[in-house]
A = this chain, B = another copy of it.
Amino acid sequence: MARAATTSDAFNAVAEPRRRQILLFLADREYSVNEIVDGLRVDQPSVSKHLRVLRDTGLVRMRCNGRQKLYRTNADGIRPLHEWASEFERYWTHQLNRVKDRAEKKAASRAAASDSNSPKKEE
């Protein structure tokens, strides 16, 4: 069997970076297709196709206005994803540790204030 269809659920729909970009773009207000095209510098058929997938998975809402169609992210569609990921919240490095880390980093950078370069600490 091949991979599940992109339209099968939010997880598959959101696997495509461009679609995530579109969803963020359409998060706070509705935009016409051409506004998306201009805003994200993607060619129109591509945008339309991505919007189709997002619509089929309920991740965007569409409204007609004259000859243009206005799209907007339906954030509720993203909740399953968020909820699934939240299952792991208690397993990943805890807030407490992060606070501690931040404090340590702060202390470290204060101590390194005499040095010339800022230490780029990874993770």
Whether A87 lies near B4 (C-beta < 8 A) is: no
Chain A count of residues within 8 A CB distance of the other chain: 30
The quantity of this chain's copies bound in the complex is 2
A20 CA to B27 CA, complexed, in Å:
26
Check A14/B11 contact, CB under 8 A, given A88-B73, A88-B75: yes
A14 to B13, CA, bound (A): 11
Residues of A within 8 A of B (CB): 3-4, 6, 11-12, 14-17, 20, 23-24, 27-28, 73, 75-76, 78-79, 81-82, 84-89, 91-93
Other contacts beyond A4-B16, A76-B93, A81-B81: 8, CB < 8 A: A3-B6, A11-B15, A12-B15, A23-B88, A73-B91, A75-B91, A82-B86, A82-B88
